[in-house]
Each structure stands twice: as C-alpha cells, then as structure tokens.
Amino acid sequence: MSARPLSGKVAVVTGGSKGIGAAGVKAFAAAGASVVIGARGRELAEKTAGEIGAAGGKALAVACDVADYASVEGMFSAAAEAFGGVDLVLAGAGVNLQRDLLVDADIDLWRKTIEINLIGVYHTARAAIPRLKARGGGKFIAIGSGRGRRGSTHSSAYACSKAGQWMLIRCLAEELLDSNIAVNEIVPGPVWTDMNTQWGDRIDPIFTGGPEWAKQPDDVVPLLMFLATQPNLGPTGQFFALNRREI
C-alpha cells in the first residue's frame, strides 16, 4: 500500500476534535487526505487543524452540531468549497449522557442522546450522500457499539441509539448499492475516551475486568484505515469489531 493512500481525497469527520474522531482525523491527514474537522467545540478542532497545516497537510475546522441539520449541511458546504468535494465521511460524534436505570433517567438527556447518536448520523448521511455521489462514490463509516447488540442496564438511551444506527447503516448500504458508496460501521469495544472516563467510579466494569481489551483511540486507527482504503465497490452494510467477546 502507498504511504499516502488517501492522497487527493477529502475526509469529513464529525466529533473530530476528541477521541476516536480525532485519531481518525490525524490518520487520514497523515495518509494524504484533506480533512474537515467538525466539532461543537471549535478550539480543539482548530488546534488540530493548525498542527496538520504545520506538518504540510490541509485541514479545516468547522463548528458543527450534528443534532442540527442546518449546521451539518453548512459543514459539508464548507468542505466542498474549501477542497472541491467529499470522498470519505467518519460519523464520529457521540455521547453517553446518563447511566441511570430507564425509569430514573432524565427524559431530556435520554432524548438528547438519541438526537446526537442516531439522528445526528442520519443528518450526516443525508448531507454527505449528494457530495459523495458527485465524486462518483466514496465511503461512509460510523462508530457503533456492542451496546447496540445486547440489552444492558443503566445505558438504555445509548444502547437504543446505537442499535438504531446499525439498522440505519444497513438501510443506507442497500439504498446506495448502485452509487459506488460503501457504508459500514466499526465496533471498537471499550475505548478510553472522555465519554467513558467521565463516569469515575461508575465507569462500565468492562474497562477494568474480564477478557476485553480497553483501548486508546489510536488503537482504532488501523481498522479505520482498513475501511478508508477499501475499494468503493468493496464491503458495505457490514460491521467490523475489535472486541474480544461475542457481541
């Protein structure tokens, strides 16, 4: 494989200022892509964009709230204006806002989790698809979770949002079979990101015991690059996991 297999490509990453999204941004840029870093908090995104630029790459930071379609559409318009189009999308924005039993959960936080994790991916796909089609095809990758495959306590909103996302990915893959656009999901397993470490002594025990591999965001990069560099007519409607247990 070329040392810069994404040369000439344009990648848009939501949730690109932190965690797996940020790791993806840096990997795509190092592989030669021009990158658009979408994030609600622009300061970290601009810092990363500056670092990529200083290293000779091309990057643009854009304030983006995936729960707001106009904001997402604006991000893709900025990507097309700055770099001429879009070839690769990583839907990396996600939250886990509550860890209570469903009956005790804050209703507004439950709804907001769905709006960001599921409707946010729908917004991202809806805005991305015309741009990908305009380039003759491309890749759409979403970050999923094993929680979307099995029932569990204390994470109903997150689990339901990820279960819905997995069905959305499969529907999109079917709809886009004739458009040269591959749509897939990665299931990284437990990763030490702000979304998970915020819970302190209430952190999911999967991070601290059992057979699982608790990863850093950079550990997910090889899987992201594998999908980013597949042919557009390669795998679609699939999920690719880094788990060490059945999901």
Which active-site residues does the annotation give? 158
CA-closest candidate to residue 169, choices 236, 85, 245: 236
Q: Largest Cα–Cα distance in the chain?
A: 52
Q: Return d(Cα 104, Cα 243) in angstroms, integer.
A: 30
Helix (H) or strand (E) holding 10: strand 10-14
Residue type present at position 100: D
Are the C-beta atoms of residues 83 and 60 closer than 8 Å to each other? yes
Buried residues in 72-109 as b, exposed as e (16+ CB within 10 A): bebbbebbbeebebbbbbbbbbbbbbbbbeeeebeeee
